[in-house]
Amino acid sequence: MNAIPVLTIEDVATLDGVLGDFLKKTESDLTVVIDRGGNAISQCGDRDVMDVTVIAALAAGSFAATRELARRIGEVEFNALYHQGNGNHIFMNSVDDETIMITVFGSRTTVGLVRFYSTATAQNVAAVLKLLRRTSHGLSFDAKDISAAPVFVDPP
Amino acid sequence: MSIINYASREIQFKIVYYGPALCGKTTNLSYIHQRINPLNRGDLVSLATATERTLFFDFLPLNAVVIKGFVTKFQLYTVPGQVIYNATRQLVLRSVDGIVFVADSQWEKMEENVESFKNLSDNLALQNMALDEVPCVLEYNKRDLPNIAPANYMEYVLNNRKKRLQSFEVISSTGQNVFATLNAVSQILLHKFSKLSQTPQRESLPVAIPVEPSAPETQRLPA
């Protein structure tokens, strides 16, 4: 039987606390913790104005793509990446081998402040996820809870 | 594999469309994007060259309610098929939950199909995954073209193994069997996580090349 790792409501509350504190200190708009495959694990901030799913997929790709660039200069990977826009910017930093943290911020703050607080935040997030991976038993479903109907329908 | 967020009751699955260059992976996603209810899908994001060849990946997020009590999100990706982009394919395959291998049915593409399938197996091995462990279906695409190999020949070339994969004859440009393929891989991966682990994949005998161009395991196109 295969099982999917689970973030319990308590885990989510802990992560939300860590990420909420980070957003408040840095005055950023949104922060998302994603796995390196592009799946969002936890998020905090103004999620309505941005498509977090797409941001997560593209950020994971962007982070992975620069890994080869890092290797060319003798690094395993870049620990952090910064994409500067005219008004809005993205800062990404590595949390652990499996996870990345993305922060979207505007002109109310600076990349220096985001970078400064992101280091400690990443360590706190990593600690929560490490505990989760060690203790989580995972979730599997009853076969009867899975719909037998086609998942997606091509309309006539 | 993703982590379930129990607070938002969301599960995410990653399905990758894999296959040789110009076999129709992006066309599959474009058709699904066009046809599915906009309320249940996000934008189709294509990272392509000026000539619309996939450079990094295409990405299409879909929502569905298939597991009681959870919102299920399927994230569809394609890989760049061109041989030189193998490093990119390895990146896109990371944390994959399900695979649709798209094969080009034209005779002259058969060698590329085989190479791409082997490349898929090699790239999964780099992630310590084996093809038998990952929910996977085969799609024999471009069945409307004149110079195509019979489906049973493609079964012999790509699906000759103890545990055979479900396969579908598809015309992705018109959408025939595109949803059938997507539904099949979705159901297989959902059942992988059920407590009974009842996957619809079957044990079957090794494939021989039959004389008649028919393969009972393959979903036939409507006449």
Taking the CA of residue B59 and the nearest CA in chain A, the distance in Å comes to 8
**Which percentage of chain B shows pLDDT scores above 90?**
57
CATH class as words, domain A9-134: alpha beta
Q: What are phi and psi of A51, to 5 degrees?
A: -85, 95
Residues 6+ apart with CB under 8 A from A71: A77
Provide the number of CB pairs (under 8 Å) joining chain A to chain B: 147
- Judged by CB atoms closer than 8 Å, whether chains meet at B61 and A54 is answered as yes
Which of chain B's residues have a Cβ under 8 Å away from the Cβ of A152? 32, 36, 62, 64, 179, 182-183, 186
User: Is the CB of residue A79 less than 8 Å from the CB of residue A67?
Assistant: no
Tell if the CB–CB gap between A7 and B4 is shorter than 8 Å: yes
- Count other Cβ atoms within 10 Å, centred on residue A43: 21
List Cβ neighbours of A29 (8 Å cut-off, separation of 6 or more): A23, A45, A46, A88, A104, A105, A106
Helix (H) or strand (E) holding A83: strand A80-83
Pairwise pLDDT comparison (B61 vs B50), residue with the higher score: B61
- pLDDT surpassing 70 at residue B157: yes
Q: What is the mean pLDDT of residues B19-28?
A: 95
Beta strands in chain B (DSSP E): 4-5, 10-18, 45-48, 54-67, 70-78, 98-104, 136-141, 163-164, 166-169, 202-203, 218-219
* Average pLDDT of chain B to the nearest whole number: 85
Query: Is residue A69 within 8 angstroms of chain B, CB to CB?
Result: no
Using CB atoms, pick whichever of A64, A143, A152 lies closest to residue B196. Answer: A143
**Residue A124: CB atoms within 10 Å:** 17
The model's pTM: 0.82
Higher pLDDT, B5 or B80: B80
Sign for the CA dihedral angle at B125, B129, B133, B136 comes to negative
CB atoms A4 and B7 under 8 Å: no
Q: Can you tell me whether residue B217 is helix, strand or coil?
A: coil
Q: Do A151 and B187 touch (CB under 8 A)?
A: yes
Please report, for chain B, the start and end positions of each structural domain, with discontinuous segments joined by +.
10-219
Which of A99-108, B16-25, B212-221 is least confident? B212-221
Q: Do A37 and B2 touch (CB under 8 A)?
A: yes
Confidence of residue B214 (pLDDT cuts 50, 70, 90): very low
Please give the average per-residue pLDDT across B17-44, as a whole number. Answer: 94
Contact B77 A36 (CB under 8 A): no
Cβ of A145 and B68 within 8 Å? yes
CATH 1.20.1340.10 corresponds to the domain B10-219: no
Mean pLDDT across the stretch B49-76?
A: 83
Which chain A residues are closer than 8 Å to B33 by Cβ? none
Contacts B43 to A, Cβ<8 Å: 51, 54
- The rounded distance, in Å, linking the Cα atoms of B93 and B79 is 8
Residue of A100, A151, A153 for testing the chain B interface, max B β-carbons within 10 Å = A151
Q: What secondary structure does DSSP assign to A84-135, as a single string?
A: --SS-EEEEEEEETTEEEEEEE-TTS-HHHHHHHHHHHHHHHHHHHHHHHHH
Q: B183–A53: do the CB atoms touch at under 8 Å?
A: no
Do the beta carbons of residue B147 and residue B107 sit within 8 Å? yes
Domain boundaries, chain A: 9-134
Asked whether the predicted pLDDT for residue B110 surpasses 60, the reply is yes
How many CB atoms are closer than 10 A to CB B146? 5
Nearest to A146 among B66, B95, B182 (CB): B66
Q: Which residue has better confidence, A100 or B222?
A: A100
Q: Which pLDDT belongs to residue B165?
A: 95
Average pLDDT score, chain A? 87
Q: What percentage of chain B has pLDDT greater than the value 70?
A: 84
| Residues 6 or more apart in contact with residue A43 via CB below 8 angstroms | A19, A30, A31, A32, A33, A52
Cβ-defined contact of B75 to A38 (cutoff 8 Å): yes
Question: Which tokens in the block code for residue A116?
Answer: 């400064």
Dihedral (CA of B103, A64, B63, B126) sign: positive
